[in-house]
Structures are given as structure tokens and as C-alpha cells.
Structure 1
Amino acid sequence: MYNFSGGIRPPGSLQIMLFLASHFYTGVSQVPNFPEFVIVGLMDELQVEHYDSNTRRYVPKQDWANRMTEDDQTYWDRYTQIARGTQQWFKGNIEIVKQRLNQTGGVHVYQWMYGCEWDDETDEVVNGYWQDGFDGEDFLVLDLKTETWIAPVQQAVPTKQQWENDKAMLARYKHYYTTECVDWLKKYVEFGRSSLMRKDLPSVSLLQKTPSSPLTCHATGFYPDRADLFWKKDEEELHEDVVKGEILPNHDGSFQMSVDLDLSGLKDEDWGRYSCVFHLAGGQEVSKRLDKRDIRTNWKTNDGGIAVLAVIGCIIGFFVYKKKHPKGKDPHQDH
């Protein structure tokens, strides 16, 4: 599924000159040792704001995000209060949706994501979005262009009908996503432009578990996440005998990804014709030619030496993403 939102505002994501603000809200029930409510604010996949039910504080996650207090000294305190109210709202909504779906006890997850996308060059609002879901399945989605709600499951139809009849609420949402959300996004872009616009190339390694395993090309430490990693033979990109992984976040805000190559049909004399290429948006590249001497592995070599144990750390961010809200007013209403 995806994400959530509550009564806070969005962070952003940038693509070339597009910036995306996203907020993800997650409420859970009966999950031991885990906060029952979490908000994650993102800009260009970079976490900038955070709240959870254990700390009960809405806080910045980037130094430059704290500049929001320059124009509003009560910013973090105000959104802390909003987040606490949204936490209670989420708790009630979990029970409502459970009743709609005829479910009782057990572990349940309610998520909401919202946000907006803005073109820094044209100053146009590219998109605004809202989605919520329950236990990994979509529940309601707002189509901002048609000003209608999409109900992927039958149990959401009553809410869809009720909300579509509330034209004033739809007007508020449209105003928020096309105006207030974008104003908030622009402010963060102003404060964090140097970080958001930076381009970091990765370190690229060749990894293999066993002699019969696929060869993994692993790139880590790059930013932003608008990148590609692929194998090529001579100057031609390979699409067969390769398996590409997803781009994953690292703990420091950078990203990592990998792509596997099946070596079973590869002739020794052809190894030098293969290379792994990392391409970052904007044209920068890192290329690593296939060479047995560069492969890091964890099996013993023929001369008895022990090769380096390759460990790929995949940091999985708490999936609660997407977008929205500014003025301290929760646009959501009970289902």
C-alpha cells in the first residue's frame, strides 16, 4: 500500500526542477513495541519532519527544516498539538474501518498519504494527491482533477458518496493542495535548496555469494534517487539475464540499488566486454568493468585466502508517505 496524512503539512520531493511534498501517516493497533501512530514528512524522499506517539513531539529531521520557526516561532509546538489530535482521530478511524470490514481483534494498520508537486521553473502546480488505506489495501483515493473520490473496496462507498456530496469539503481540499501545500513546499525548497539540489555519486561494488550465484553490482551513497543502474555488453544495455532491484534509502538520506547478472552462460574471454553502469539524472555516470579480481565474495579463494565478506545493508523506511497540510487545520473528517 502506501501512506498517510493527518493534520500537518507536507515535505517535498524534487525531480529535475520538480519538488514533491509528501506526508505519510500510519496508525496501528495491537503491535507490541511499536508506536501506535507515526507521521513522516518527506521532501524528495528526504525525511524532514517526524512525529510518533512515543515521543509525542513534532520535530525537524534536517537542520535547515528548523528554519520554519524564522517566520513562525510556534511552528513545531503548533504542529505537535495537531499531530496529537490526529493521533486520536486515527485511533477512532481504525475502529470504524474494522467495523466496516467486519473485523475484530488482531493487528491492523491504517495509513494516509497526501502531498503536492510543484515545478520550480514554471511555478506551476503539477499535482496534488490523497490516498488512504487499511491493512495494505487502498480504501479511498482523491482524484483532484475530477474532484471525485475513488472507492477501491465496496466498504468505502458510503464514505465516497458522503464526501462527494460535501462540495465545500472538496473545495477546501483543492485549495489546500493547489495553494497552501505548495506555499509550504516552496518555503522548504528555499531553506533546503543546497541539500535538495545536491548530486552525490555512489561507490560501486561487484559482489557474489558463491561461485554459482548471480553477480551483484551494488551502488550505494548516491543522491537524489533519480538514477539507474544496469549491465551492458560492449555499448549495449542488457535486458536478459539481469534482475534489477528497487532503489532503497540509506540511513544518511542517500540511496542504494543493485542489479544482478547471471554468469552461467558467460565465457571467460568475454568478461572484459561487460560493465556495470550507474547513471544519475543530469548525465553523470560511474562505470565498473567486469573483472574477477574486483569481485568481493565470502568463499575461500584457490590460494587459501579469504575474500572480503560483502554486506549490503538495506534500510527500509517506515512506509508511510505522501503529502500535505499547512495551516494547522485537519482537512480530514471521520469516515
Structure 2
Amino acid sequence: MRLFLALCFLLGIPSGAPEIHSLKYVVTGASQVPNFPEYVIVGLVDELQITHYDSNTRRVVSKQDWMYKTTEEDPTYWEKETGVSLGDQQSFKADIEIMKERFNQTGGVHIVQKMYGCEWDDETDEVVNGFHQYGYDGEDFISFDLKTETWIAPVQQAVPTKHKWDKDKAKMAFDKNYFTSFCPYWLKKYVEFGRSSLMRKDLPSVSLLQKTPSSPLTCHATGFYPDRADLFWKKDEEELHEDVVRGEILPNHDGSFQMSVDLDLSGLQDEDWGRYSCVFHLAGGQEVSKRLDKRDIRTNWKTNDGGLDTGLIGGVLGVVAVLVVIVCIIGFFVYKKKHPKGFRATNTSETSSSSGEDPAVKKGSSEEQSMLKTSA
């Protein structure tokens, strides 16, 4: 198993696995980060980006054509979403100052992140999960446990917030309704609108890459969808677990995904090369297999004819650069396995801590007026 940003899927899912859908909103507030918006919100359904807002453009835009069907439900959908995001931008900016105070910081680069949303099983029509979590400078800060209806504070600086939110029963009831009713309602709508895209299954192209003769051999799969997939090395018909390093599943700019798995070649005998293969397995049973062959390996030190293969490395670095930007904008947390997926809560901050007030947070589709505060 591995983490994909916030939540990890069980890999190698059999074809009969239930179809779990997720609606997630990821909010990123940045302080003193050059050439990066102060505030970004990204909405995702099944890890596919559906909406985007940032403090530079100051408008919520669709990232999928089928999302415009939302106007069938509410003709003012996009105007409302933009209005909510504009308001949340100001409050979230104040959260960073609260965090800095909590951690006894005065300046520098800082990032506040939030994820919230829900999961729904379209076979049983049951709400599987609801989640809401905050991070600060790459570390967990506070998260909501829907089962116990309590907030969990992994760091001492979050304890005051936990106590405050746990005592607010009206807010707790409102939040629970969002996770179990409002969020699933819109998730079902989005899945209905985009079913043809969300239900597609795309197999990847698989390549063998190696930086230097002494480097591990990387099997790289890119262009697959959905992200419920596995990539592994096997010898003969046995999956390898030793001398293997698995990478995270990462998003591509076009909505597809990529992943890699490294194999240590230091102990590999020449006569055994043909016994190794890299296998990609997509949820539902489809596979792509690539047998280990020296002639297929692409490197940045030489090609098979002795020349320098610079084109490959330039391309790979270009993809990596794009991914860094995407991951930063999306603001995904890489959490421990026990942490659930995140979701879209547009918020208003507790920045009025000096006055003892906690402004309300709006979340979900813009028409909801929530009581979720960011009071860091």
C-alpha cells in the first residue's frame, strides 16, 4: 500500500471492488512565497480536478466541461462559488498570522493547508466517510473525527482550538450535516454529470529509466486513470518486495496519473535479466507488463549507441517541474495511512481571536452557509 497525497488506496483492487467516489476541496494559504498566489482552492472529484480559484484571478473556474451542468441545478452556481471564495480568502490569510503566533514565529515563508470533503459508495448509496483537516508548514495541525464527533490535535499548539470546537455543539451538528448530507448530495450530482469521464479506464505507457550505470532501474508508468492502480517488479511470476522502492501516485497536468517503482540492479546477474519484468495493474484487472531488457533502458548518461540521451532527461525534468507546481497548487497533504481523505471547506478564520469571535466558515457548494471556523 502507499499514500496518494492525503489518503492511501489499497492497491491491487480486484475487479469486484466497490466504486467509492470522493469529493475533496484543498485550500492553500501562503505567506511570503515568491511568484505563488496567497490563496488557492482546488476542487476534486475522484482525484480529478473540477474547479480552481486563486487570489490572482479572483474567480472560481471550471476545469471540466461537464461541470457547467451545475447551472442546471443552480443558474448562479459559479457566481456564488466565487463570492464564497473571495470572502474566505481574507479570513484564511488571517489564519496564517494566528498560526505564526501559536508557534512563536514572526516572519518567513509559511503555508496553511486545509482539506475537507466526503466519500460515497454508489453501489450501496451509503456515505462512507467525511473529513476535515488542517496542516501548517507541512505538518498535521488538527483534524475532525466524524465517528466520535471530536477534533484531534496532534500538536500542543492546536489544543486550544480543539477544546473550543469540541464545546461548540451547534457547530458540530452543522458540520456533521455537511459531511453526511450536503457534501454527498453534490458529490452524487458531480458523478452524474461527469460519469463518462470519471468511469473511464486508461492504461499507461511504461518506460524503463536509469540515471547512471550504478543507479537503481526505474519503471515509470504515466497516463493512467483512475489512480487506483499498482506498479511492481516481479521475477518469473513472483512479486518482488526486497530491493524495491515504490513511489507515490502523482497527478499529471491532463488529469491522468503517473507512478514509478525502482529496482536495485547491483546483485542482478546478466543471465537473469530476462526473468524480471515490471507490471502495471489497474483496478478492474487490466495490466501492462514490460520485460527487463537492456536495449529498452533510457538513461541520461548514454544511449545504446553510446551517445548522450539528453532528450529523455529534459522531458522527465519538465514533467517533474509541472508536477511540483500542480502539487503545490492543489496543496495536497501527504498524511499517514491512518488519515482520511480531505474535502472542500471554504472557511472564514478565527482570526478575530483578539475580539473573542470566530467568524463562520462557508463550505461545500457556495449556497451553504456553514459554521465551521478556522480558529487556529
Fold shared, TM-score > 0.5 on shorter chain: yes
- Paired residue for 1:333? 373
- Paired residue for 2:331? 320
**Inter-CA distance 300–150: structure 2 relative to 1 (3 Å threshold):** closer
Of 277, 282, 291 in structure 1, the residue corresponding to residue 284 of structure 2 is 282
**Inter-CA distance 163–308: structure 2 relative to 1 (3 Å threshold):** closer
> 8 Å contact 2:174–2:370 — kept in the other structure?
no
CA-CA distance at 1:181 after TM superposition: 0.2
- Paired residue for 2:89? 87
Write out per-residue CA displacement over residues 291-332 of structure 1, whole angstroms, 9 at most, x where no aligned residue: 122122233457545557423223132242431313332432
Measure, in 1, the Cα distance between the counterparts of 2:177 and 2:304.
68
Measure, in 1, the Cα distance between the counterparts of 2:261 and 2:275.
17
Aligned residues: 324
- Paired residue for 1:234? 236
> 8 Å contact 1:82–1:329 — kept in the other structure?
no
> 8 Å contact 1:23–1:320 — kept in the other structure?
no
> 8 Å contact 1:116–1:181 — kept in the other structure?
yes
The answer to whether 1:149 aligns with 2:151 is yes
For normalisation by structure 2, the TM-score amounts to: 0.82
Write out per-residue CA displacement over residues 127-146 of structure 1, whole angstroms, 9 at most, x where no aligned residue: 00110122222222111111
**Inter-CA distance 209–333: structure 2 relative to 1 (3 Å threshold):** closer
- Paired residue for 1:193? 195
> 8 Å contact 1:221–1:250 — kept in the other structure?
yes
- SS of 1:299's equivalent? coil
> 8 Å contact 1:296–1:309 — kept in the other structure?
no
**Inter-CA distance 212–309: structure 2 relative to 1 (3 Å threshold):** farther
**Inter-CA distance 288–170: structure 2 relative to 1 (3 Å threshold):** same
Measure, in 2, the Cα distance between the counterparts of 1:305 and 1:104.
52
**Inter-CA distance 86–304: structure 2 relative to 1 (3 Å threshold):** closer
Q: 5 Å matches for 1:200-239?
A: 200-239=202-241
CA-CA distance at 1:251 after TM superposition: 0.7
CA-CA distance at 1:215 after TM superposition: 1.4
Write out per-residue CA displacement over residues 106-130 of structure 1, whole angstroms, 9 at most, x where no aligned residue: 1121111101000000000000011
Measure, in 2, the Cα distance between the counterparts of 1:253 and 1:334.
30
Of 155, 158, 161 in structure 2, the residue corresponding to residue 159 of structure 1 is 161
> 8 Å contact 2:233–2:239 — kept in the other structure?
yes
Structure 2, unpaired ranges of 5+:
7-16, 333-341, 345-363
- Paired residue for 1:128? 130
Write out per-residue CA displacement over residues 235-285 of structure 1, whole angstroms, 9 at most, x where no aligned residue: 001111121111111111111111111222111111111111110011000
- AA of the residue aligned to 1:329: Q
> Superposition RMSD on alpha carbons, in Å?
1.9
For normalisation by structure 1, the TM-score amounts to: 0.91
Q: 5 Å matches for 1:226-265?
A: 226-265=228-267
- Paired residue for 1:27? 29
Worse overlay, 182-191 or 104-113: 104-113
Worse overlay, 215-224 or 148-157: 148-157
**Inter-CA distance 286–88: structure 2 relative to 1 (3 Å threshold):** same
- SS of 1:109's equivalent? strand
CA-CA distance at 1:154 after TM superposition: 1.8
> 8 Å contact 2:26–2:42 — kept in the other structure?
yes
CA-CA distance at 1:21 after TM superposition: 0.6
The answer to whether 1:42 aligns with 2:53 is no
> 8 Å contact 1:297–1:309 — kept in the other structure?
no
Measure, in 1, the Cα distance between the counterparts of 2:45 and 2:214.
41
> 8 Å contact 2:175–2:370 — kept in the other structure?
no
Write out per-residue CA displacement over residues 173-204 of structure 1, whole angstroms, 9 at most, x where no aligned residue: 00010000000100000001111110000011
Percent identical among aligned pairs is: 70
**Inter-CA distance 289–151: structure 2 relative to 1 (3 Å threshold):** same
Measure, in 2, the Cα distance between the counterparts of 1:155 and 1:36.
23
Measure, in 2, the Cα distance between the counterparts of 1:264 and 1:310.
23
Of 102, 105, 120 in structure 1, the residue corresponding to residue 104 of structure 2 is 102
**Inter-CA distance 301–101: structure 2 relative to 1 (3 Å threshold):** closer
**Inter-CA distance 291–161: structure 2 relative to 1 (3 Å threshold):** same
- Paired residue for 1:119? 121
Measure, in 2, the Cα distance between the counterparts of 1:303 and 1:232.
28
**Inter-CA distance 269–308: structure 2 relative to 1 (3 Å threshold):** farther
**Higher helix share goes to which structure?**
2
Structure 1, unpaired ranges of 5+:
4-14
Write out per-residue CA displacement over residues 183-237 of structure 1, whole angstroms, 9 at most, x where no aligned residue: 0100000001111110000011111222222211111110111111111111001
Measure, in 2, the Cα distance between the counterparts of 1:54 and 1:70.
28
**Inter-CA distance 245–98: structure 2 relative to 1 (3 Å threshold):** same
- AA of the residue aligned to 1:155: Q
- AA of the residue aligned to 1:264: S
